Amino acid sequence: MTDAGRHVRHCARPDEPTTLTDVGTSWLESVSGTTTRELTALRPDLAALIAELESNAAANVGERTQQLMAIRAAQMVGDPEFLAGADATLVEQATKWPTHPEVTEFERAALDVCESFIMDAHSVTDEQVVRLQRLAGDDGAVGVLLNLAVIDGFTKFRKVFTQGGR
């Protein structure tokens, strides 16, 4: 965790519940272990818009690239259930992306940015973005980053709210 991240930690007041047990029966308990789609269904007005954004983002870069980035993010954040349900061939390719012969130059550039983005968005360099733009144009570069925003957010969202993260 970064120094900045440490400051975000909330300090509970003495009378404030600090565990789910303290809180008692809550919606969190009822959804624990469920999927992202089930979690977002708690806000039906947002669920359709989120699904549309995910679909649009995936279409911008292609489902294969989107899946490779989602798998790599799941590996980095620690989401074993997502990985268990993913295509084994793609998991193998995402694991060995720097040298795997089936991974294209564009996918390599996207996965390179993916790793930096997941670890710390500050670390994404001009060179990485220029490489994406050279390979996929401005729209492609925006598409990769939009996918990463969705993937990063929802991978961590699952990590916080579900047992296995599906």
Partner 1 sequence: MSTSPRLRGPDGKPTDSLGAALARTPFPALYAQFWSHGIVDQPTKEVTRLRNARITDCGF
- E strand or H helix at 70, and its extent? helix 63-77
Smallest distance, partner 1 to C-beta of residue 10, A = 11
Out of 8, 11, 88, 160, point to the residue binding partner 1 (CB under 8 A).
Answer: 8
Rounded Cα–Cα distance for residues 166 and 153 (Å):
13
Pick the stretch among 9-17, 74-82, 102-110, 119-127 that binds partner 1 (CB under 8 A).
119-127
Burial code (b: 16+ CB inside 10 Å, e: under 16) for 104-125 equals eebbbbbbbbbbbbbeeeeebe
Out of 31, 41, 50, 135, point to the residue binding partner 1 (CB under 8 A).
Answer: 50
Rounded Cα–Cα distance for residues 87 and 67 (Å):
9
Residues making contact with partner 1 (CB under 8 A) = 2, 4-5, 8, 43, 45-46, 49-50, 52-53, 56-57, 121-126, 129, 133, 138-139, 141-142, 146
